[in-house]
Amino acid sequence: MVEEDGMDLEEEEEEDYRSESRRKASTVFSVIASVLSGFLGNWACFKVSEMLNVPSQAFPAAGSQQRVAPAGQSRNKVVLKPGHSLLDWIRLTKSGQDLTGLRGRLIEVTEDELKKHNTKKDCWTCIRGMVYNLSAYMDFHPGGEEELMRAAGIDSTDLFDEVHRWVNYESMLKECLVGRMAVKPSPALQAHTEKTESTHLNGLSAPPSLRPEPLSAPLPAKDHRPRYDWFQTDGTVNIVVYTKRKIPSAGCAVVDLQDDNLRVEMLLGRMSYLLYWRLSSRVQDHVDVQTAHSVGKVQLCLRKSVKEKWTQLGQSLEHHDTFIQCKDRGLFYRECVLLSKTDVTHNTQLLRLQLPPGSRMQVPVGRHVYLKTSVQGTDVVKPYTAVDQMLIPPSQSSAEVGSDIHLMIKVYPDGVLTPHIANLPIGASLSVGGPEGSLTLRVLRDVTHLYMLAAGTGFTPMARLIRLALQEFTVIRKMKLMFFNRQERDILWQSQLDELCTKEERFEVQHVLSEPADSWTGRRGRIDACMLQNFLERPENSKCLVCVCGPAGFTESAVQLVRQLDFSEEELHVFQA
Ligand code: NAP
């Protein structure tokens, strides 16, 4: 059985995380600083202390529409008035209309000034030090005016991070930009800022492009941080990462060689270990990744462009050698090529995307990636759970592990991104960010009964979970999927699921249709207590886990019902994206 090494290391990871936080403060600064400097060009020197909005809780946090809310506190999407879709908003931002009331001027906003703009008709908010006028966006916001007004006149960075951390607000709200906050530095950070901001452009402070000196922090007694080493031969450079924990079979490495920059991220449960260099010499654009799962070792092999001895591997870039929670790591994008599109149902396609030659991505089970594309000049980003090519591939596919990603995408005719994706020709490029996600395999530890409640494309995270559970978690005695769809033609991978049922004694699927044809002999309706009562058995000496994924309303109902049946929080996992 695979262990994601984690349970026993969890506390140490937290400890590592805390000891990392001071170092992180400096590196977060440098990212925010570089974003803002790119955004504002030669603006007057900005202070960083109040921009350090490190998300304080798990993403999506409580209250997020991505997360199931407690009963009666759900975040409902409002019905937008006609002419107020995302596409309409994009059109408005391109129309040249003055959306800030400042006729294109950018100003410096004091806290007192920000507070004054707190009405629907005059609603300013600050996100990561930048101030936006949200009044024009009010009627376009899917969460509604009331939710947006929570941000009126204040720094709403934390609110924003709770709900929409992955949304590209810089692009969405660029025409609403009022200016930047004029902030007072805190003495502690000012001291550090003075130390690291040594370069000046046009007399203005510029953020450092390379990693600032790490603040000294005592190492925890037991050092569970991964570490790395490198060595070279005449023609190769080899980097070895010791994760200090077993690596699940799906792997954990995300490698991106772009130009001469090599970024290596190890996704280890809730933690992320990052190595990031500007290499000292050129290499060919193919990276070979070998994983020794049981010993927790990942070896990268790069081929030198010129056979010469390297005196050093390269120069450290931002966040190099940091070990932090995945949720605190920024998204990294790479351009992928659309290799194929296969129909799964009448409205759902399986996309196969090929990573660039210098990239390898081993997406952990249950995690999602982000597709980003420009719709009329505005970046639109959506999460999609990675799946395998089939429910249970007969053997390892011929493609090199980690070089392709499969995504199952339902095309919504009135959607913004999916019709665009559906119309992309083979060979087109798509920007893929991530992976991200909250599932760690330790939730499966000792589980004997795995239950999955999935609706529509909410099946996608279950697909790899089923395979993993069947192949590697022998302790699981029973795994049951209750799969909710509208009509029979909407059922994803129906024949593969049915085939698996006949082959695997441990696996069972029950289909439930909300709009069945008269000929349907199976279950009908929406999720209810009666259905679950029989489905979620709890035999003696069992350890159960219930996984839920689907539309927000479905998920909310499912979670309430599962809780009513006395399943604890530890026995429940909700997939969110
Ligand atoms: P869908 O076809 O609209 O609905 C599937 C089934 O769920 C239908 O039977 C539907 O019944 C039922 N349902 C919908 N809302 C319900 C509610 N409030 N209460 C009870 N049953 C309800 O689903 P879809 O279009 O494929 O959407 C799938 C959703 O899953 C998307 O929202 C997607 O974002 C989400 N998803 C999340 C993740 C993740 O978080 N990792 C991954 C994949 C997908 P009715 O016909 O009665 O509506």
Going by pLDDT thresholds of 50, 70 and 90, the confidence category of residue 28 is very low
pTM of the model: 0.71
Longest pairwise C-alpha distance within the chain: 77
Q: What is the pLDDT of residues 211-239, one digit of tens each?
A: 333 444 454 455 789 999 999 999 999 99
Asked whether the beta carbons of 369 and 471 are under 8 A apart, the reply is no
Choosing from 526, 532, 555, 574 the residue with most ligand 1 atoms within 8 A of its CB, the one to mutate for a pocket test is 526
Pairing between strand 322-325 and 271-279?
Answer: antiparallel
Ligand 1 center to 217 CA (angstroms): 47
Q: What integer best gives the mean pLDDT of the chain?
A: 80
Q: Is the CB of 372 under 6 A from ligand 1?
A: no
Atom of ligand 1 nearest to the CA of 437: 41
Q: Is the CB of 129 under 6 A from ligand 1?
A: no
Phi then psi dihedrals of residue 7, to 5 deg = -50, -50
Q: What is the pLDDT of residues 8-21, one digit of tens each?
A: 444 444 444 444 44
Ligand 1 center to 455 CA (angstroms): 5
3-state secondary structure 76-101: CCCCCCCCCCHHHHHHHHHCCCCCCC
For residue 241, which of 283, 301, 281, 284 has the smallest C-alpha distance?
301
Structure tokens belonging to residue 464: 């790899």
Rounded to an integer, the average pLDDT of 39-46 is: 29
| b/e map 375-401, b = 16+ CB within 10 Å | eeebbbbbbbbbbeeebbeeeeeeeeb
Atom of ligand 1 nearest to the CA of 576: 40
Range with the largest mean pLDDT of 397-406, 436-445, 527-536: 527-536
- Return the residue whose CA atom lies nearest to atom 23 of ligand 1: 456
Q: What is the pLDDT of residues 452-508, one digit of tens each?
A: 999 999 999 999 999 999 988 889 999 999 999 999 999 999 999 999 999 999 999
Atom of ligand 1 nearest to the CA of 557: 19
138 has pLDDT over 70: yes
Per-residue pLDDT, 168: 73
433 has pLDDT over 90: yes
- Which helix H or strand E contains 527, and what residues bound it? none
Q: Is the CB of 549 under 6 A from ligand 1?
A: yes
- Return the residue whose CA atom lies nearest to atom 31 of ligand 1: 551
Ligand 1 center to 551 CA (angstroms): 3
Q: What is the pLDDT of residues 62-72, one digit of tens each?
A: 433 333 434 33
Rounded to an integer, the average pLDDT of 354-361 is: 95
- Which helix H or strand E contains 293, and what residues bound it? none
Dihedral angle computed from the Cα positions of residues 59, 75, 333 and 351, in that order, rounded to the nearest 10 degrees? 120
**Can you tell me the distance from the alpha carbon of 37 to that of 41, in angstroms, rounded to the nearest whole number?**
5
Q: Is the CB of 555 under 6 A from ligand 1?
A: no
Cα angle 241, 225, 437 (rounded to 5 degrees) comes to: 85
Choosing from 408, 436, 438, 486 the residue with most ligand 1 atoms within 8 A of its CB, the one to mutate for a pocket test is 486
- Return the residue whose CA atom lies nearest to atom 5 of ligand 1: 456
Phi then psi dihedrals of residue 364, to 5 deg = -60, 150
Q: What residues pair up with 288 in beta bridges, in sequence order?
A: 301
For every residue of 547-563, DSSP letters joined together read EEESSHHHHHHHHHHHH
Rounded to an integer, the average pLDDT of 278-282 is: 96
Atom of ligand 1 nearest to the CA of 512: 9
DSSP-assigned letter for residue 106: -
Q: Is the CB of 557 under 6 A from ligand 1?
A: yes
Q: What is the pLDDT of residues 316-355, one digit of tens each?
A: 999 999 999 998 898 999 999 999 999 999 999 999 999 9
4 has pLDDT over 80: no
Spatial neighbors of 360 by CB under 8 A, at least 6 apart, are: 253, 254, 255, 287, 289, 400, 401, 402, 403
Q: What is the pLDDT of residues 502-556, one digit of tens each?
A: 999 999 999 999 999 999 999 999 999 999 999 999 999 999 999 999 999 999 9
Q: Is 346 helix (H, G, I), strand (E, B) or coil?
A: coil
**Can you tell me the distance from the alpha carbon of 407 to that of 354, in angstroms, rounded to the nearest whole number?**
11
Q: Is the CB of 456 under 6 A from ligand 1?
A: yes
Per-residue pLDDT, 142: 82
